């Protein structure tokens, strides 16, 4: 791990790491905690991949899922490594479109996911909004906003409100964005405000090489995306987003610094989106050579191999976790499929943001 200080900001860079490099000596207590986090996060990744494969299959079959399906293939390690450091109903989380793994690690039941995609009235959005636009604001779980960059201000605002109310305590907020989203005005304004107020915010930037179809060479001129942290006067961290062990170590540092009062933390993960922008997109604009570069590794395969190499799991255990994930997904689908969609003649058509409807209490 290399670190350097520039313009009052801390930059931590973890380069491409092998298992041997990832498993640097540490105290037995820290190693035990890291092992526990690693195995829990790996299982979240496996459940997320299984769930999203099911959702993609349902979308392609037609009929039941209305709207788009956006999958996180290749970003599960980076997303879940952030989510595992958050506490359900205590911390604030604003996930983005490829954060199913992070949502699961944070504590969202996959039944809520299935209910939202199938548009049933029992879901958190009461069948009014599909796919990724779901949340429970009263619990600090913010519904995703399609206007990229906006969630940074929403999560920052929630943290600032708690500070004004005297209830912030050791709360931390986290949200995600892609490489392209860091060029929006909303992102710049929100990061600047969070930096000035030294809010306990962790922003995960998934540098997956393409903003939809626009390559990074046409998005920014700085050498590394994490360099943007210098201008905001905040800590910047760079990590191999395909390496779960490295991601856990970097996010551990970022969340510790945020909780300790060191202000916003920007964590940039280098990876490749292993698919189109959504299931409607064939990603034909991604050169084949990109898929065979280091960033094109499948983080789930890498994490499973790490678990085996470190002696933290056996092949039998990995197979059993996959079977459990399939059972959970099948159970959630079966349950949600039996539940009703909204009845327009009985629905109260107030805005979903009103207090009565905000948490599915309008039935």
Whether residue 142 lies inside any domain: the answer is yes
30 assigned to some structural domain: no
How many domains does the chain divide into? 1
Residue 54 lies in a domain: yes
291 occurs within a structural domain: yes
| Distant-in-sequence, close-in-space partners of 184: CB < 8 Å, separation ≥ 6 | 147, 148, 149
* Residue 145 lies inside a defined structural domain of this protein: yes
Q: Is residue 347 part of a domain?
A: no
With contact defined as beta carbons under 8 Å apart, do 332 and 321 qualify? Answer: no
DSSP 260: T
Is there a domain that residue 290 lies in?
Answer: yes
- The two structure tokens encoding residue 185: 């005005």
Contacts of residue 319, Cβ cutoff 8 Å, sequence gap at least 6:
none
CA distance linking residue 321 with residue 324, whole number of Å? 5
265 belongs to a structural domain: yes
Tokens standing for residue 142? 């913010």
- Is residue 225 within 8 A of residue 182, CB to CB? The reply is yes
pLDDT in tens, the chain (363 residues): 333 333 334 433 333 333 333 444 456 776 788 999 999 999 999 999 999 999 999 989 987 888 888 899 999 999 999 999 999 999 999 999 999 999 999 999 999 999 999 999 998 888 887 788 888 888 999 988 888 889 999 999 999 999 999 999 999 999 999 888 889 999 999 999 999 999 999 999 999 888 778 877 888 888 898 999 999 999 999 999 999 999 999 999 999 999 999 999 999 999 988 887 777 877 788 888 878 788 889 999 999 999 999 999 999 999 999 999 999 999 999 999 999 998 888 877 666 656 555 554 444
Length of the chain: 363
CATH of the domain at 43: 3.40.50.970
What is the 3 state secondary structure string of 213-226? Answer: CEEHHHCCCCCCHH
Instruction: Give the structural domain span for 251.
Output: 2-18+35-337
């Amino acid at each position: 791990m290399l670190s350097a200080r520039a313009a009052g900001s801390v930059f931590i860079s973890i380069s491409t790491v092998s298992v041997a490099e990832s498993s640097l000596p540490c105290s037995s207590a820290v190693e035990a905690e890291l092992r526990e986090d690693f195995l829990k996060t790996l299982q979240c990744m496996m459940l997320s991949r299984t769930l999203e494969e099911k959702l993609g299959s349902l979308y392609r079959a037609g009929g039941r899922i209305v709207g788009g399906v956006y999958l996180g293939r290749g970003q599960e390690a980076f997303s879940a490594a952030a989510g595992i450091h958050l506490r359900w109903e205590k911390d604030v989380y604003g996930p983005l479109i490829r954060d199913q793994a992070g949502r699961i690690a944070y504590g969202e039941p996959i039944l809520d996911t299935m209910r939202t995609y199938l548009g049933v009235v029992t879901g958190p959005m009461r069948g009014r909004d599909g796919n990724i636009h779901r949340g429970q604001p009263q619990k600090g779980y913010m519904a995703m906003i399609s206007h990229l960059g906006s969630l940074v201000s929403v999560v920052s605002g929630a943290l600032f409100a708690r500070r004004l109310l005297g209830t912030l305590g050791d709360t931390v907020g986290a949200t995600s964005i892609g490489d392209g989203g860091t060029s929006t005005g909303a992102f710049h304004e929100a990061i600047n405000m969070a930096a000035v107020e030294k809010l306990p915010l962790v922003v995960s930037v998934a540098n997956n090489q393409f903003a939809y179809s626009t390559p990074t060479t046409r998005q920014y001129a700085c050498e590394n995306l994490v360099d943007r942290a210098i201008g905001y006067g905040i800590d910047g961290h760079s990590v191999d987003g395909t390496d779960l062990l490295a991601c856990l170590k970097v996010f551990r540092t970022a969340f510790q610094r945020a909780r300790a009062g060191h202000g916003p933390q920007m964590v940039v993960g280098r990876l490749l989106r292993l698919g189109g922008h959504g299931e409607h997109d064939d990603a034909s604009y991604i050169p084949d050579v990109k898929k065979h570069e280091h960033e094109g590794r499948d983080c789930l395969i890498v994490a499973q191999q790490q678990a085996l190499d470190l002696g933290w799991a056996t092949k039998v255990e990995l197979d059993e976790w996959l079977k459990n994930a399939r059972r959970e997904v099948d159970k959630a689908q079966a349950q949600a499929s039996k539940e009703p969609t909204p009845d327009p003649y009985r629905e109260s058509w107030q805005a979903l943001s009103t207090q009565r409807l905000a948490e599915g209490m309008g039935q």
